[in-house]
Amino acid sequence: MRVVLAFVSIILVFLMVNVDRLLTMEWRKSPRTEAAAYHEAGYAVIGRCLGMIRSGASIESHNNSAISCVLADPNLTQHQWVLRGKYRDPSSVFRGKVLTYMAGAEAEREFGFTRREDGNDREQIVAMLQWLPKSDASYEQLLRKKACGLVRRHKAKIDLIAKELCKRRTLLPDEIDALLVSSPQ
């Protein structure tokens, strides 16, 4: 009888100590899921800062990879910029897209996750660098430093979006925009 009572007491103590984790289901969250959330949040926040995207973000698995936010067609991005009175060289669109793709990996690094190789991001970056006048390895490193700086500058916003992604797994464009508007600079 004492053994059963002791066992029940241990269970009750465990439940009381871990009630927050149990209620939020945080115990189900894996480090890889968290890393994917920060990766997607990096895309979503930096892509918006650079005027590249206005899509949602998701960490729901699809063929063993996260579903990324969608980057707009370069012509559409250029057109949107012109409508807002921003006249830029067309290569700026590709530079912005490269920085957005790099922001995913940089966000993971900034928040302490070990980055595993992501072939899709790498393929996209290499393809877009071909459209830029300077596309050697040193220029890519310069862009990576800029992406790292952008991630650090917008770290609080990326953290906010990533935490919401971990809770809800998918965020619609309007939900991301609302969160970013309500977040402190």
Domain boundaries, the chain: 30-182
The C-alpha atoms of residue 50 and residue 143 are separated, in whole angstroms, by 13
CATH architecture, range 30-182: Up-down Bundle (1.20)
**119 residue type, one letter:** G
Tell me which of 183 and 126 has the higher pLDDT.
Answer: 126
Please report which helix (H) or strand (E) contains residue 57, including its range.
strand 57-58
Query: Rounded to whole angstroms, how far apart are CA atoms 175 and 5?
Result: 48
pLDDT computed for residue 145 by the predictor? 96
Q: Which two tokens stand for residue 42?
A: 């990096």
- 82-97: average pLDDT: 84
pTM, 2 dp: 0.76
CB atoms within 10 A of CB 78: 19
Residue pair 180/164 in contact (Cβ under 8 Å)? The answer is no
- pLDDT category of residue 185 using cuts at 50, 70 and 90: low
- Across 32-36, 67-71, 160-164, the highest mean pLDDT is recorded for 160-164
Q: Over 50: is that where the pLDDT of 85 sits?
A: yes
Q: Which pair of structure tokens corresponds to residue 110? A: 């900034």
